[in-house]
Structure 1
Amino acid sequence: MRIKNANMQHDRLHQTKSMVFTDSGEVPKPISRHRRNHSQHYVSDNITPRDISVNENKEGVLNQTKITDRGKKLRKNWTTSYIVLSGRKLEIYKESKEQAVSNLKSGNKPEWIDLCGAHVEWTKEKSSRKNVFQISTVSGNEFLLQSDADITVLEWFHAIRNKIDSLGKEQQFPSLSVNIRRSTSTELLHLGADSKEQKAEQRKSLISKLNYSASDTCDRNRVKTRLKKFISRRPSLKTLQEKGLIKDQVFGCPLETLCKREHATVPHFVKHCIEAVEKRGLDAAGIYRVSGNLSTIQKLRFVINQEEKLNLDDSQWEDIHVVTGALKMFFRELPEPLFPYCFFEQFIEAIKNQDNDLRVKAVRNLVKKLPRSNHDTMKTLFEHLRKIVINASVNLMSTQSLGIVFGPTLLGPEKDTGNMAVCMIYQSQIVEFMLMEFDNLFY
């Protein structure tokens, strides 16, 4: 190890490594390593590039992680690696120096970073560690390198930046790409060969990107063509229903259509639910007001839509509130309510009559005008609800309670009038009135 001074300028050519002092000849003062004395992300401000020993060929231990692979973000995985800066590459060995040398002799190639056209910069947004700098390559790869030692990380940063700058100049002036033997090293730098290799790699990368883009476009067109053929050849809904692949739904089906399909004036599902409630739910507290388990109700709905036979005495439907919840859902999902839209305003006008006899007469005339399926289903339902009211001392459901529950479910306006509170009052009053005057309205 030799020291540079004014009387020994000729020794410079024989040095393999140099330690540079300040202009005054004094050794720089030790740098405080305490975390409070410097930034978490940057090295000490007292260190200048003149204080750093920079070698073109450099090796040592750094913490490194790859955060982007060809434009795809990766999760940070910091590892302590042995780094070698040689030629146009930064080689990364994930083991000790001795193991790296043995691997090189055995022919194992390490991971490496192509510095030609790369960019190096300090960064504090990418990591909470201090002294972190980033290398971005032309192929879309990004690496973070770090060391807790300020001098070490500065030496590496300037060495890599100088290497990148020198590679950029070689590309700008290709006539300078000749075999050069340095006085400090016996290594031949085949810059011309490296430049040719780089151009060949860039050409292959461009060709592969073009091929990928063309194949990707071809695949998309092929998928579009197949989708168009599938859509044009798909069978109609009627054909699928005739083959039995799609069964007719019960929920959401128009009442008249459902009754015609079942050859009845009252849907079978409504009858089954009423029978189950009258068999084991007349004395259930809050019947029709208490909500059942929604997931079980949806399961019952699915079974009804897919299967012809329904057994509500099965243990999975033992909660009577699930049965009543499904019945209310059936009436809510009718495309047109049980009280048709065209009758809604007429029922409101009839219920506004102050004279009870006139009110009964007006409502009875409207009930008689209802379509057959609506009339018979309404009669069956209100006859059932009358039995609920008779047991009100046990189940605590009065005509007023049932009016509040079934009013919005059975009738409503086709278009929102904007006065929902008034509308709900009339809905409840109509249902309550029809329960109290049931015999006079349907017989």
Structure 2
Amino acid sequence: MDQLIAKGKVDSTSRQSYYDSGERAYNALMSALESSKLKQIIQLQYHFNSYHTYLKSSYEYLDKQKDKVLDIVKNAENDYKNFKSKEKQKQLVWVPVSMSGDTKRVFGMSYQEVIERDQYHNKILPFLDDSFKYLEEKGLRIHGIFRVSPPKPDLDSLRERIDRGEEVDIWGIEEIHLVSGLIKLFLREMSAPLLTFELYGDWIAAIDEVSTELQIQKVKTLVNRLPEANRVLLYRILTLCIKILANQEENEMTIQNLAIVLSPSILKERDTDAQSLVDEIHKANKIMVFMLENYDALFSNF
């Protein structure tokens, strides 16, 4: 068409119509491009707003959860220290009494047997007695008490000293989680759980009773059937937990938190397969929660 126009073979009306069509096509194309750019800009703005909202909510969440995040960081740091101290851990390998001839061992033993062997008339080991008093004075408001783990090498060293019969100054320990970790370690390594293997079925039956009144009656009877040393230690543990729960707004340790970290060491079956382990832990948690919720009724005459 341009060549025909150049040669004068197209009249003025057709020529104008041609140019008008071209202009309209050009304008339509530019309009489409601008519209496309605008759409992209709107999409980008939407994405930026979404990221801004996401980041804002993330920062708000982190600010609310900062204490838990600090717990995670602290545990990670402790794990790193444990990893870096392999040589030190080798030096702290615990040697059983049967191999070392040491008659002062208390970890990994029957609690009642240790109390009878060493003739503790108040039915509580001195380092445990000091640990409970220490936590009652210094640890009730500590965030994550019993949940946060101390460095393993420090805990192993403390256990070694106690098993050698050394006098350990619990009150001289600065890391509060080390003292709570020591109590957990002792409970976990007992050769028989605090509520005993023999009474496991009775504990489960008691907690499955239909009424709270019957549950309290049966649990109270079972507490009285425990060896005296076990009964005293159970009372000290639950009493400490009650005091921790009174400060849970500061330490963020709920009744469920305490049950989760302590109950697996207090009640378990003698032989447990992997399939029934989860159910066993659930039942132990349930019993621990029940004893804490009904502490006054169970231990009013203790």
Q: Which amino acid aligns with 2:232?
A: D
Residue-by-residue CA offset, 1:175-232 (whole Å, 9 max, x unaligned): xxxxxxxxxxxxxxxxxxxxxxxxxxxxxxxxxxxxxxxxxxxxxxxxxxxxxxxxxx
Q: Distance in 1 between matches of 2:231 and 2:165?
A: 27
1:297 to 2:173 alignment: no
Q: Which position in structure 2 is the counterpart of 1:420?
A: 277
Q: Which position in structure 1 is the counterpart of 2:124?
A: 266
Shift of residue 284 of structure 1?
Answer: 0.4
Matches within 5 A, 1:291-330: 291-314=149-172, 317-330=173-186
User: Does the 8 A contact of 1:351 with 1:363 survive in 2?
Assistant: yes
Q: Which amino acid aligns with 1:412?
A: K
Q: Which position in structure 1 is the counterpart of 2:262?
A: 406
Work out which structure has the larger RCO, using CA pairs closer than 8 Å and 6 or more positions apart in sequence: 2
Shift of residue 307 of structure 1?
Answer: 3.5
Pick aligned residue for 1:249 from 105, 112, 116: 105
Residue-by-residue CA offset, 1:140-169 (whole Å, 9 max, x unaligned): xxxxxxxxxxxxxxxxxxxxxxxxxxxxxx
Q: Which position in structure 1 is the counterpart of 2:238?
A: 382
Q: Distance in 2 between matches of 1:393 and 1:269?
A: 29
Q: Distance in 2 between matches of 1:309 and 1:340?
A: 29
SS in 2 for 1:249: coil
Q: Which amino acid aligns with 2:193?
A: P
Q: Which amino acid aligns with 1:420?
A: L
Shift of residue 313 of structure 1?
Answer: 2.5
Q: Distance in 2 between matches of 1:267 and 1:381?
A: 13
SS in 2 for 1:284: coil
Pick aligned residue for 2:229 from 366, 373, 385: 373
| Runs of 4+ with >2 A deviation | none
Q: Distance in 1 between matches of 2:125 and 2:155?
A: 18
SS in 2 for 1:341: coil
Gaps of 5+ in 1: 1-236
Q: Distance in 2 between matches of 1:276 and 1:293?
A: 19
Q: Which position in structure 1 is the counterpart of 2:288?
A: 431
Residue-by-residue CA offset, 1:320-378 (whole Å, 9 max, x unaligned): 11111111010111111101001111111111123111111111111111111111111
Q: Which amino acid aligns with 1:429?
A: K
Q: Distance in 1 between matches of 2:237 and 2:119?
A: 18
User: Does the 8 A contact of 1:262 with 1:268 survive in 2?
Assistant: no
Pick aligned residue for 2:217 from 361, 364, 370: 361
User: Does the 8 A contact of 1:267 with 1:377 survive in 2?
Assistant: no
Q: Distance in 2 between matches of 1:288 and 1:405?
A: 7
Shift of residue 308 of structure 1?
Answer: 3.6
Q: Distance in 1 between matches of 2:156 and 2:277?
A: 28
Shift of residue 251 of structure 1?
Answer: 0.9
Residues paired across the two proteins, number: 200
State percent identity of aligned pairs: 28
Q: Distance in 1 between matches of 2:103 and 2:223?
A: 33
Q: Which amino acid aligns with 1:433?
A: F
Q: Which amino acid aligns with 1:347?
A: W
The alignment's TM-score, normalised by the length of structure 1, stands at: 0.44
Q: Distance in 2 between matches of 1:253 and 1:423?
A: 22
Shift of residue 247 of structure 1?
Answer: 3.8
Residue-by-residue CA offset, 1:68-127 (whole Å, 9 max, x unaligned): xxxxxxxxxxxxxxxxxxxxxxxxxxxxxxxxxxxxxxxxxxxxxxxxxxxxxxxxxxxx
Q: Distance in 2 between matches of 1:289 and 1:361?
A: 31
Gaps of 5+ in 2: 1-96
User: Does the 8 A contact of 2:143 with 2:251 survive in 1?
Assistant: yes
The alignment's TM-score, normalised by the length of structure 2, stands at: 0.63
User: Does the 8 A contact of 2:127 with 2:170 survive in 1?
Assistant: no
Shift of residue 253 of structure 1?
Answer: 2.1
SS in 1 for 2:171: coil
Matches within 5 A, 1:73-88: none
User: Does the 8 A contact of 1:348 with 1:426 survive in 2?
Assistant: yes
Pick aligned residue for 2:196 from 340, 344, 354: 340
Q: Which amino acid aligns with 2:164?
A: Q
Q: Which amino acid aligns with 2:276?
A: N
User: Which has more radius of gyration?
Assistant: 1
Q: Which amino acid aligns with 1:379?
A: Y
Q: Which position in structure 1 is the counterpart of 2:139?
A: 281
The CA RMSD measured in Å over matched residues stands at: 1.7
Q: Which has the higher helix share?
A: 2
